[in-house]
A and B are shown apart, each in its own frame.
Chain A
Amino acid sequence: GAGVSQTPSNKVTEKGKYVELRCDPISGHTALYWYRQSLGQGPEFLIYFQGTGAADDSGLPNDRFFAVRPEGSVSTLKIQRTERGDSAVYLCASSRRDTSYNEQFFGPGTRLTVL
């Protein structure tokens, strides 16, 4: 079956611009996560959705970052006034959360480069 998909795969933007990154989770997965992976590091948690609501946004670095999931499926991560330090790979993951260990399935990521 189809896995988690993310678009675009690459995004190059200029400092100060606004960007949107999209995630299509696996069908039927109620939980959706965004992570950010800087070069040479492990992914870091940004935000978690259960259904349509952001149940935990404690990882968002500041108020320039915002995410939505209006219909409980597709999610969009929005970054305002981008800075060079925002350059990273943004990963999306989804899960069913009906097992004891909550296996998360990851998308291929969007590589964001802020010039």
Chain B
Amino acid sequence: GDSVTQMEGPVTLSEEAFLTINCTYTATGYPSLFWYVQYPGEGLQLLLKATKADDKGSNKGFEATYRKETTSFHLEKGSVQVSDSAVYFCALSDRQGAQKLVFGQGTRLTINP
């Protein structure tokens, strides 16, 4: 079945550092890809998405590009802030049927001032 593998955490960076969180997927079809974020004490929120190959999703300074050839959707940000501390989940959704989300295990990110 479909699956998502994320870079294991936790990840600790200093403010203004460059961030990459790796994500690769296995899917039989052509899924849509997502990054969700869970801030402390809050629910899961959609951070960004890409629905087809070579699409770039972006939001709040974060970016991720749908790479079909490497089955990857790595999350990047050029300069992280303390407020980016959260747990990040990569996910995919089949375009057909239930369109349920399949999540990676999550990566906890801590940014120190």
Contact = CB atoms under 8 A, between A and B. Distances in A.
Nearest to B103: A42
A42 B32 contact: no
A108 B99 contact: no
Given A102-B32, A103-B46, A108-B43, A33 B100 contact: yes
Contact of A104 (B4, B101, B105): B101
Interface of B is mostly: strand
A90 interface: no
A28 interface: no
Nearest to A6: B43
A42 B106 CA distance: 6
A112 B34 CA distance: 27
Nearest to A100: B51
A42 B45 contact: no
A102 B93 contact: yes
B44 interface: yes
A66 interface: no
Interface string B87-113: 001010100011111111110000000
B55 to A, nearest CB: 10
Contacts of A107: 43
Given A100-B51, A106-B43, A109-B43, A41 B105 contact: yes
A42 B91 contact: yes
A64 to B, nearest CB: 21
Interface string A14-49: 000000000000000000010100001111110010
Interface of A: 3-4, 33, 35, 40-45, 48, 55-56, 59, 91, 93, 97, 100-109
Given A35-B101, A103-B49, A109-B43, 14 more contacts: A3-B43, A4-B43, A41-B106, A45-B98, A45-B100, A55-B98, A56-B98, A93-B101, A101-B32, A101-B49, A104-B101, A106-B36, A106-B45, A107-B43
Interface of B: 4, 32, 34, 36, 42-46, 49, 51, 89, 91, 93, 97-106
12 contacts: A33-B98, A40-B106, A42-B89, A55-B97, A93-B44, A97-B99, A101-B49, A103-B49, A105-B46, A106-B36, A108-B43, A109-B43
